[in-house]
A and B are shown apart, each in its own frame.
Chain A
Amino acid sequence: MTGRAGVTGHVVVVGLGFGDEGKGAVVDALCRDGSVSSVVRFNGGAQAAHNVVADGRHHTFSQFGSGTLAGVPTLLSRHVLVEPIALAAEARELAALGVADPLRLVTAHADALLTTPFHVAANRVREDARGPRRHGSCGKGIGETVWYSLLARRAARPGDVVEGQVVPGEPGEAPTVGDCARRAVLRRKLDALARCYRPLAGDGTSVAGLVALYRAFADAVRIVDGDEVGRRADAGRLVLEGAQGVLLDQDHGFHPHTTWSSTTPRNARLLLGGRPARVLGVTRTYQTRHGAGPLPTEDAALPARFPERHNGTGEYQGAWRAGHLDAVLLRHAVAACGGVDGLAVTHLDARDLSVATAYRTASGPVTRLPAGVDRTAFVAGCAPVVEPLPDPVAWLEREVGVPVEVTGRGPDRADYTVRTPVAA
């Protein structure tokens, strides 16, 4: 890469809300000037839904990095869950948008876990069985993939309860992307997976068919091992794209409405191995959430005021919800990240905004989530103190103490501005 200032710094893009902050558009905005050599996905899997609108083309990125329309290759790191059937469908969508041979842009790490139709089926059976106590799952087998991978390591037995879920059958080792190129290993692992899930997911999927399919996947997508992120980081500029948001983090979110993933910059930092990178926290000018879980500033009037072109009721997740910007949750998210170096603010075209600066509680107003309490119960029992928010950019810069480096005033790439060089 060139030595020009502002071109070589790596950037970690992380959502400070419950997802849907606008990470995709921000990644695209960072990539469009050609300075980025790879987008690295560092968590989540096929449930990600990052919308990018560029020159009239719209795509909801799921496994491909959001720099794809800018021509930037994607690396699916070892922390990502890879679902080949959905990946192929996404490649076809991108090809239809004019991206030539999209799969050539994808590299996957051999250690990444595979999400299979067995995981998807089991996920849906379990969420259906929860009835009114749904977790707000996307129904794409993400949590199930992580959960299954724990079983063999914990020597779980059929009928055991692991992390609150019953082990349906005898578990085996979890299949990975690297296994796809090794037919015998893959076959053995998928057989074990199918047997384990049979009581829950039935027999709808053929292991033999899956082996052939995953073999074709391994032929078409470049698979790497070792420290690929380090190699790429030393050769060019990376954007590390997070999925979901910090408020859904497995450690910092609100159980049980969390995702089985580190949504903070933690994985990105591990992958970078100590190399410097700026953390760019993304927030809307208001708070949103998809599906079940706490949303203290929720205002039923807001979804109608802020029409949403690319987010509707999720097939599996449930309703789209909106509330006012929540300073208490924002502070919690920034702290969970270990601080951020800059902010990206989207939906600046929204008018007449408000912000909750504190929560009223029985023991007086609080501006931060207290430690050592049940966070979910706490936010469920608080009353936000809401005031007008005339200038969200100025307010956020003052509140968080870092510059707003990217602004978005609409869905299209043309509505995004990179205000200051996002550099290390």
Chain B
Amino acid sequence: MGHGKWDDDAYAAARTFRAAKGIDDFGYTASMRSTPRDRWRADPSLDPLGVAARECLDSADHADSTPIAVLFDVTGSMGRVPQVMQRKLGRLHGLLRRKGYLADPQLMFGGIGDADSDRVPLQVGQFESDNRMDEQLRTIFLEGNGGGQKSESYELAAYFVARHVVTDAWRKRGRKGYLFLIGDELNKPRLEARHIRRVIGDDVRQDVDPASVYRELARKWHVYFVLPRQSHHYDDPEIAEHWRELLGQHFLKLEDPGAVCELIAATIGLEERVVDLDQAMVDLAEVGSAAESRAVGKALVRVGPAALAASAAPPDLDGPDDVTLS
């Protein structure tokens, strides 16, 4: 059994056994839904409140760890996309390892909601390099609400990653991690201090400009925003404009939400310069469906390897420089 293949085989086996038992793939969501709304909360393993830091550390087994954080929008406007992604993302680790894009990827998953209207606006797991990722994905609460004002609390998630994630990749090697935000709306106009206090527990007294959060984040992370089709706002030009202003060419539109895991793998392969776009497409065609690799190809075509290489520096981020995160 090859090392990379183990992940995929074991993941598939666990799904098979769960399906036979009749355990829902989203067991936590199912159990929350059967309780009154005022008791909805994140599973303790995913609750950011009071978390000093999520750590992505090297170990004897994983001496060259690279953090990859994937946080996806779990609100109603995303339709069935979170379920599709939850089913698919478990394969990501196997894909990265098998194709040799990264030696020691460590993945963290999380869910993003709306701090103005949701009970559970932010969930963040731990960095894992084995099939516990699968359990983490199944434990994410797909709350499914959202405020209906075309904005979600992405900046709250970005703040958490900027301030509450510690990685050996950065500390020891000055290497950036990867953050993929997957959603279909705008950031909130302000990152409100009261939300930071309530959801994360930091004693912040002043609202923060989201652009400054992304600027800080970009020092230690390659930040991407993926807008998948089937979500409400796929063709809304305001969304594209908003994210391009923040992230430049790191804003990716994806036609097939089922290809999100392949898109992430290909993006990392390009950024790491392990492959060019053509080779990434060949790799994906080997492991996934032709339709999925076509969707990934379209999403990345405007990025391209040259553009990605240039983007190692943070894209131009606007917003006043004097806004500090207190």
Contact = CB atoms under 8 A, between A and B. Distances in A.
Contact of A213 (B1, B10, B20): B10
Interface in B168-205: none
B20 A206 contact: no
Given A117-B1, A120-B1, A206-B130, A213 B23 contact: no
A121 to B, nearest CB: 6
A50 to B, nearest CB: 21
A208 to B, nearest CB: 6
A98 interface: no
Interface stretch (A35-43, A88-96, A223-231, A288-296): A88-96
Contacts of B6: 117, 204-205
B12 A88 contact: yes
Interface string B1-21: 111001101101110111011
Contacts of B134: 212
A85 B3 contact: no
Contacts of A209: 7, 10, 130-132
Interface residues of B, number: 24
A208 B10 CA distance: 12
A191 to B, nearest CB: 14
Nearest to B7: A209
Given A88-B12, A89-B12, A205-B6, A213 B131 contact: yes
Given A121-B1, A208-B132, A212-B132, A217 B17 contact: yes
A104 interface: yes
Contact of B17 (A88, A117, A204, A205): A88
Contacts of A117: 1, 6, 10
Contacts of A84: 13, 17
B113 to A, nearest CB: 27
Contacts of B1: 117, 120-121, 204-205
B311 interface: no
A122 to B, nearest CB: 11
A115 to B, nearest CB: 11
B278 interface: no
B130 A208 contact: yes
A88 B9 CA distance: 9
A394 interface: no
Given A88-B16, A103-B17, A120-B1, A212 B9 contact: no
B238 interface: no
A162 interface: no
Contact of A204 (B3, B18, B23, B132): B3
A227 to B, nearest CB: 26
B129 interface: yes
B316 interface: no
Nearest to B18: A216
Nearest to B97: A204
Contact of B13 (A89, A104, A206): A89
Contacts of A88: 12-14, 16-17
A391 interface: no
A87 to B, nearest CB: 8
Q: Most B CB atoms within 10 A — which of A121, A202, A210, A212?
A: A212
A404 to B, nearest CB: 40
A101 interface: yes
A220 B20 contact: yes
Contact of A103 (B10, B14, B20): B20
Contacts of A216: 13-14, 17-18, 21
A137 to B, nearest CB: 14
B321 interface: no
A216 B132 CA distance: 13
A203 interface: yes
B89 to A, nearest CB: 16
A257 to B, nearest CB: 24
Interface in A186-223: 202-206, 208-210, 212-213, 216-217, 219-221
A298 to B, nearest CB: 32
Contacts of A103: 16-17, 20
Contacts of B2: 204
Q: Most B CB atoms within 10 A — which of A87, A89, A220?
A: A220
Contacts of B272: none
B21 A89 contact: no
A239 to B, nearest CB: 24
B286 interface: no
Contact of A206 (B12, B18, B60, B131): B131
Contacts of B60: 203
A220 B132 contact: no
B212 to A, nearest CB: 38
Contact of A212 (B23, B129, B131): B131
Contacts of B129: 206
Contacts of B38: none
B21 A220 contact: yes
Contacts of A217: 13, 17
Nearest to A117: B1
A204 B93 CA distance: 13
A378 B2 CA distance: 39
A89 B130 CA distance: 19
A267 B133 CA distance: 41
Contacts of B135: 212
A134 to B, nearest CB: 19
Interface string A98-135: 00010110000000000001001100000000000000
Nearest to B133: A209
B17 A219 contact: yes
Interface in B1-54: 1-3, 6-7, 9-10, 12-14, 16-18, 20-21, 23
Q: Which 10 A-B pairs have the closest CB atoms?
A: A204-B3, A206-B130, A209-B131, A88-B13, A220-B17, A209-B130, A216-B17, A88-B16, A103-B20, A220-B20
Given A88-B13, A117-B1, A212-B134, 12 more contacts: A87-B13, A89-B12, A117-B10, A202-B3, A205-B3, A205-B6, A208-B131, A209-B132, A212-B135, A219-B17, A219-B23, A221-B20
30 contacts: A84-B17, A87-B13, A88-B12, A88-B13, A88-B16, A89-B16, A103-B16, A103-B20, A104-B20, A117-B6, A117-B10, A202-B3, A203-B61, A204-B2, A206-B130, A206-B132, A209-B7, A209-B132, A212-B14, A212-B132, A212-B135, A213-B14, A213-B17, A216-B13, A216-B18, A216-B21, A217-B13, A217-B17, A219-B21, A220-B16
